[in-house]
Amino acid sequence: MRMKILVTGFDPFGADKINPAIEAVKRLPAIIAGATIIKLEIPTKFNVSAQVVHTAIAAEHPDYVLNIGQAGGRFALTPERVAINLDDGRIADNAGYQPVDHTIHADGQTAYFTQLPIKAMVREIREAGIPSAVSNTAGTYVCNHIMYQVQYMRDKEFPDIKAGFMHIPFLPDQVVNRPGTPSLSLADDVKGITAAIAAIVARDGQGDIKTIEGTIA
């Protein structure tokens, strides 16, 4: 049976009218490396986002979940290593909610490591000619929240899924009025996410590769 991968993208938030995450997800092929891609737009809202993903997991029983989010200011596609049990909003979410130093789940782990082969993803994205790096923080906003929530669902309810998150930079259009800020095109986002998903499929059942991608600080 075909592998199923649920890929989500957030809608626009803050001052931006567009979010490269959902735009790139919409443009992914229906099938990547033989796996069926299920696409899902999720709202940039702390609580609702998790409910929407939960419903999709319950309905679709995907093998993998890959959440995609915008990381303004980053230079590269960055698969995330870890999600932490904390909401700490720099700005309010799209529901007007701005938690400060809130624990997400009192009975959840302090953090969860991803099950995705992030180093293999980084390698494949680079081989596609797109900059990529392992990230060790998904921030403290809705992106970290959804990554944590999906891991929590895995911990408590769906032990068979493997899940993770990848951040992508601003689009060129978003940095026209943000001098000195890096960007990446939508076409390159699609190419890079496709390569990352191909790496997930290729490494299925084998764990990650052991390459030097650590960070001093």
**Interaction of residue 117 with a second copy, rule CB under 8 A:** no
What residues are annotated to the active site? 80, 143, 167
Q: Which is nearer to a second copy, 30 or 217 (CB)?
A: 217
Q: Which of 5, 66, 71, 120 binds a second copy (CB under 8 A)?
A: 71
**Interaction of residue 172 with a second copy, rule CB under 8 A:** yes
**Interaction of residue 154 with a second copy, rule CB under 8 A:** no
Are 87 and 46 within 8 A, CB to CB? yes
What the block records as the tokens of 37 is 């891609």
**Interaction of residue 212 with a second copy, rule CB under 8 A:** yes
What's the min distance (Å) between Cβ of 106 and a second copy?
13
Residues 192, 184: Cα–Cα separation, whole Å? 10
Q: Which of residues 12-41 bind a second copy (CB under 8 A)?
A: 14
Residues 21, 17: Cα–Cα separation, whole Å? 12
Are 8 and 53 within 8 A, CB to CB? yes
Give residue 17's identity as a one-letter amino acid code.
K
Segment near a second copy (CB under 8 A); pick from 22-30, 58-66, 83-91, 197-205: 83-91
Q: Which of 11, 16, 173, 204 binds a second copy (CB under 8 A)?
A: 173
24 DSSP 8-state letter = H
What's the min distance (Å) between Cβ of 73 and a second copy?
8
Strand locations in 34-98 (E): 35-42, 64-70, 78-79, 82-84
Q: Which is nearer to a second copy, 3 or 82 (CB)?
A: 82
Which position has the token pair 């190419």? 191
Q: Given its phi and psi angles, is residue 180 left (phi above 0), alpha (psi -120 to 50 degrees) or beta?
A: left
**Interaction of residue 184 with a second copy, rule CB under 8 A:** yes
Radius of gyration of the chain (CA): 16
Q: Which is nearer to a second copy, 149 or 183 (CB)?
A: 183
Residues 103, 90: Cα–Cα separation, whole Å? 16
Name the residues that contact a second copy, by CB under 8 A. 14, 69-76, 81-82, 84, 86, 88-91, 98, 100-101, 109-113, 126, 129-133, 135-141, 143-144, 167, 171-173, 175-176, 178-185, 187-188, 208, 210-217
